[in-house]
Each structure stands twice: as structure tokens, then as C-alpha cells.
Amino acid sequence: MRLLSTYLIGVIFGVGISISGMANPAKVLNFFDVAGTFDPSLILVMASAFVTAFVGFRLVLGRKAPIFEDGFKLPTRRDIDVRLVGGSAVFGIGWGISGFCPGGALPALGTGRIEVFYFVGALLAGIAIANFLQGFAGRTRSFVRA
Amino acid sequence: MIETAFTPVQSLAGGALIGTASVLLMLTLGRVMGATGVLAGVIRPNNLSDAAWRIALLLGMATGPLIVMAVTGQMPAVQVPVSTAALIVGGIIVGIGVTYGSGCTSGHGVCGMARLSPRSIVATFTFMATTFATVYVVRHILGA
């Protein structure tokens, strides 16, 4: 039940990404190309998703717990640090170069287009590199403390 | 560069489905729908059941285009106006950025913004700004 419902939620997300145009790098890049072939569609995707989630979260988070778990697992940090801002800035550079963001690319794998697999392969490599660097930085810090 | 048409109806409807999926994941598993977090957890899962729901969600996502194909008779458009090298270099940069930044368009831009999380609001405005700047530089200064 739990896995079937999660699968179906993935389907809803994947259909939403597909019809919204977020899986299409040409459309995404045109939103950011105000000085060129501008296509404002993306702002409507974000606005519509935001309003739906804003209202929905208020209803859902009024519950004591989610249906299949004992409690909500929400990010609790509120501090703005260099990692958050720097990482997000770097993400935007990659998004601007490739035209894919992770949430747009994962459903697009279903189209079977080889370009999507190139991007997702590189995305996984980037995540692995960052995990390695973070682990290395962590080890270096504990070594210095010791 | 490839011109694309403004699609207000599809984009509003697609956004509503993305928001609905995020709300339903919160309702059932109590988790944030973030592509970065889901994917990162598949690579390094805490345990079998943790890996299972992430894989189920990813399989569902990839089924999305097939459902669209079945209903409309057409695969959703994936038009790639950049080179393979740009896809790969961009992909690596995105992977590093979202890991350090703890999220991407779905996690920060939709879920975090909807929860009015200060970190997500800062993250979203930051990556939107650098994406605008990058596209401007690539298309109008470098002329690629």
C-alpha cells in the first residue's frame, strides 16, 4: 500500500512535470532568456505549484502524523550559511548551462531520450563528488581537532 | 536556440499536479518532495525500506511521460538546445550545487517556499538569479 501510493504520487509528479514543460530544456532556458527567445511559462508552473503546496501543507501539517509514518520529517534548520547560498548559486550556473534541473530530468528519463541519461549520469557524478568532498572536509576537520 | 510557445494552461495545470504530489507525499510519508533528496537517498540509503519508497517514487516519476503519451498520443517534448558537453558539464555542476545547497527547484523552490522556510526562500532567489545570469552570459556574451 505504502509503496503503491508512493509510486502513484511519483506518477502525478511526473505527469505534472511533463505537461508543465519543466522536462523540456528549450522551454526552461527560454524562461531565463529575457533578452532573447523569452517564454514566461515557467513562472506559472512555479506559482501554481507554490499555491497548491501552500494551501495543501497547511491542511496536512495540521495532522498529528502522516498516514504511513509516526511523524513528519521536516527540515528544521533556519540559519542562512555559505554552503546554502554558494551551493544554490552553483546549482543555478549548472541549470543555466544544461537547461535541466533534477526534478525536471528524473521524469524525463521516461521519454527514453539519450540526452536525459547523459544529464542524469552527470548529475549523479556531481552528487558523488560533492559527497566525497564533504566527507573529506569532515575527516580533515576531525583530524585537526584531534 | 529553439523558440517555444507560451503555454499558460498546461503550465498552470502541470504546476498544480507538482504541488498536489508534494502535498500527497507529505500526507502519506511526512516527507519533502525534493528530487535532490530523493536521488541522494537512493545512492546512500539508510536501510532497505528507505531505499524502497525512493525507488517507487522515481519509477512513478519516469512513468509520467508514458501516461502523457498514452493519453495524448505524443511523448512530452524534450528539446535540447545545448551540446552534449554542456549537458554533462552542467549536470556535474548541478549535482555539486544541489548537494551543498541542500536542494533544488522542487525541494526549495516548491516545498520549502510553500512552508515559508527562510533557507528555501534565500536558496530559490539565489539559484534563479544565477540561472538568469548564466543564460545571459552563455547566449548573449559568449554567443553559444
Of B24, B28, B78, the CB nearest to A115: B78
Domain range for B46 is: 8-141
**B-chain residues within 8 Å CB-CB of A16?**
13-21, 64
| ∠ Cα A44 B100 A136 (to 5°) | 165
Q: For B3-53, what is each residue's pLDDT tens digit?
A: 999 999 999 999 999 999 999 999 999 999 999 999 998 888 888 888 999
**B-chain residues within 8 Å CB-CB of A107?**
61-62, 64-65
Instruction: Kindly state whether A62 is in contact with chain B, defined as any CB-CB distance less than 8 angstroms.
Output: no
**Is B3 inside a domain boundary?**
no
| ∠ Cα B27 A69 B21 (to 5°) | 25
Q: Are the beta carbons of A131 and B118 separated by less than 8 Å? A: no
Of B15, B82, B136, the CB nearest to A98: B82
Q: For A108-138, what is each residue's pLDDT tens digit?
A: 999 999 999 999 999 999 999 999 998 877 6
Is the pLDDT reported for residue A142 higher than 70? no
Interface test with A, best of B10, B92, B122 (most A CBs within 10 A): B92
pLDDT at A29: 97
Q: Are the beta carbons of B94 and A128 separated by less than 8 Å? A: no
- Quick one: what percent of chain B has pLDDT higher than 70? 99
| Predicted complex ipTM exceeds 0.90 | yes
Neighbour-count burial of B8, counting CB atoms closer than 10 A to its CB (0-12 exposed, 13-18 middle, 19+ buried): exposed
**Is B1 inside a domain boundary?**
no
If one counts every other C-beta atom within 10 angstroms of the C-beta of residue B104, the result is 32
Instruction: Kindly state whether A110 is in contact with chain B, defined as any CB-CB distance less than 8 angstroms.
Output: yes
| Touching A: B residues 85-124, CB under 8 Å | 86-102, 104-106, 108-115, 117-119, 122-124
Taking the C-alpha atoms of residue A84 and residue A31, their distance in angstroms, rounded to an integer, is: 24
Neighbour-count burial of B94, counting CB atoms closer than 10 A to its CB (0-12 exposed, 13-18 middle, 19+ buried): buried
**Is B64 inside a domain boundary?**
yes
**Is B135 inside a domain boundary?**
yes
Is the pLDDT reported for residue A139 higher than 80? no
**Is B67 inside a domain boundary?**
yes
**Is B2 inside a domain boundary?**
no
If one counts every other C-beta atom within 10 angstroms of the C-beta of residue A141, the result is 10
The per-residue pLDDT of chain A, averaged, comes to 93
The nearest CA of chain B is from the CA of A72 a distance in Å of 4
Size of interface A-B (CB pairs under 8 A): 509
> Average pLDDT in the A42-56 region?
98
**Is B91 inside a domain boundary?**
yes
Chain B residue with minimum CA distance to A52: B19
Number of domains in chain B: 1
pLDDT at A146: 42
Instruction: Kindly state whether A143 is in contact with chain B, defined as any CB-CB distance less than 8 angstroms.
Output: no
Contact criterion met (CB below 8 Å) for A17 and B40? no
Q: Are the beta carbons of A107 and B87 separated by less than 8 Å? A: no
